[in-house]
Amino acid sequence: MNSNEIDIHKELKKYFGFNQFKGLQEQVIKSIVDKNNTFVIMPTGGGKSLCYQLPALIQEGTAIVVSPLIALMKNQVDAIRSLSSENGIAHVLNSSLTKTEINQVKKDISDGKTKLLYVAPESLTKEEYVEFLKNVPISFVAIDEAHCISEWGHDFRPEYRNLRTIIKHLGEVPVIGLTATATPKVQEDILKNLDMPDANAFKASFNRPNLFYEVRTKTKNIEADIIRFIKQHKGKSGIIYCLSRKKVEEIAQVLQVNGISAVAYHAGLDAKTRAKHQDMFLMEDVEVVVATIAFGMGIDKPDVRFVIHHDIPKSLESYYQETGRAGRDGGEGHCLAYYSYKDVEKLEKFMAGKPVAEQEIGFALLQEVVAYAETSMSRRKFLLHYFGEEFDSENGEGADMDDNVRNPKVKVEAKENVKKLLEVVRDTKH
């Protein structure tokens, strides 16, 4: 069966109830159905899951989906099961299953019932599972969050490095890598590591035209500045990211004292409090959540109107991910970062205890954040360039949506003028 022989629009409607594909989904799905190695780069929320779920559902055999988070796998399996009357259509294979459960999974796969098998990368290294999977028809292997392969990604997982070897044991099966990390370095790592230089690559644009990017110098008046900003956005939802739990607590309190409804969120709070605070934010019982980066994964509040970085993030990928939580509905999204070189030094100190290779990568990523904060060019152009994307800062979508474009930095030019003046002075002296 190839992609010309099936009506994938009809299948989309049948399984998912959607009338059309989002972005590059159709091309990606055709590439997979035609048994090509395929590489998909789409921002978070772009619709990557459907890219492998639909081909899995309509093809012979079982698709193996490697995913790093058990919670996410469970969600996806539940979602797929809800589309079908056959419970065995999707399964998770992991170490928490009982012997009986494992046998049921194996039986459903052997009976051809299971279209999607989600596995954690460490489970896939298990001899017993590999032996079993070698002897059943596999449609393809999808590797979600494929950036976990790369040390340059924001979530490196050594187990991901062994995937290629294991997949080779399964025989000739197409491999699909998917990620929301767009830096050329990470992409190169993924293709190299999965040994698929021939892959059909599909990359969606990372431009978020409705987000406004701004960087302000961090001074001791930062708290007053943040309060003023929030009061200008009265009644709107926003997230404030801080580096430390202590800072999170501090800022949340300062806001509360100043009549802003805010809650704190960080990994030091117990699960019940975290869940409560998250719900309060989602239900709009509070306007602002002050959080460490522990907050945000899988949170889909469409009308977040601002994301403030009290401290600079450790990489531009993190910055893009975190600011990306603003304006999901296409409406206004103001992304404000406070920058001081002292914070850079603080982050560098944090890294000092880590292995040398990790430190080097950490420093390099941080330097990019510094360059972004200090640039006088279009911030959107800078960010997109970092992701390997050319942006037309004259006519591109959202071209005027940042502080540098709206208010070009005269200060920098003034400095240039002073420099020139000094040169003239020096020249005349000689």
Q: Which residues bind ligand ADP (CB under 6 A)?
A: 18, 21-22, 25, 42, 44-50
Residue 265 carries which side chain, given as an amino acid letter?
Answer: Y
The binder of 50, among ligand ADP, Mg ion, none, by C-beta within 5 to 8 A per type, is ligand ADP
The binder of 42, among Mg ion, ligand ADP, none, by C-beta within 5 to 8 A per type, is ligand ADP
Strand duo 304-309 + 288-291: pairing:
unpaired
The binder of 110, among ligand ADP, Mg ion, none, by C-beta within 5 to 8 A per type, is none
Minimum CB–partner distance for residue 137 and ligand ADP (Å): 25
Residue 266 in the binding site for Mg ion (CB under 5 A): no
Minimum CB–partner distance for residue 376 and ligand ADP (Å): 33
For the record, the structure tokens of 407 come out as: 């208010």
Q: Which is nearer to Mg ion, 44 or 162 (CB)?
A: 44
Minimum CB–partner distance for residue 42 and ligand ADP (Å): 5
The binder of 46, among Mg ion, ligand ADP, none, by C-beta within 5 to 8 A per type, is ligand ADP
Report the residue number whose CB is nearest to Mg ion.
Answer: 48
Minimum CB–partner distance for residue 403 and ligand ADP (Å): 28
Q: Which is nearer to Mg ion, 53 or 292 (CB)?
A: 53
Minimum CB–partner distance for residue 314 and Mg ion (Å): 22
Are 240 and 289 spatial neighbours (Cβ–Cβ below 8 Å)? Answer: yes
Minimum CB–partner distance for residue 48 and Mg ion (Å): 5
CA pseudo-torsion sign 395, 396, 397, 398: negative
What is d(CA 291, CA 293) in angstroms, rounded to the nearest whole number?
A: 6
Are 242 and 308 spatial neighbours (Cβ–Cβ below 8 Å)? Answer: no
CA-angle at 385, arms to 381 and 391, nearest 5°:
45
Binders of Mg ion among residues 35 to 74 (CB under 5 A) are 48
**201 membership: H or E segment, kind and range:** strand 200-203
Q: What is the DSSP string of 91-154?
A: EEE-TT--HHHHHHHHHHHHTT--SEEEE-TTGGG-HHHHHHHHTS-EEEEEETTGGGG-TTSS
Angstrom CA distances, 306 to 40, 238, 335, 374, stand at 29, 5, 6, 21
Strand duo 138-143 + 175-179: pairing:
parallel
Residue 147 in the binding site for Mg ion (CB under 5 A): no
Ranges of H-type helices in 258-309: 271-282
Q: Which is nearer to ligand ADP, 45 or 158 (CB)?
A: 45
The binder of 27, among Mg ion, ligand ADP, none, by C-beta within 5 to 8 A per type, is none
Per-position x/- string for 3-42, each x denoting binding to Mg ion as judged by CB under 5 A, each - no binding: ----------------------------------------
Q: Which is nearer to Mg ion, 48 or 305 (CB)?
A: 48
Q: What is the DSSP string of 4-22?
A: TSS-HHHHHHHHH--SS--
For the record, the structure tokens of 263 come out as: 């809650």
Minimum CB–partner distance for residue 176 and ligand ADP (Å): 13
Question: In the complex, which residues of this chain contact Mg ion (CB under 5 A)?
Answer: 48
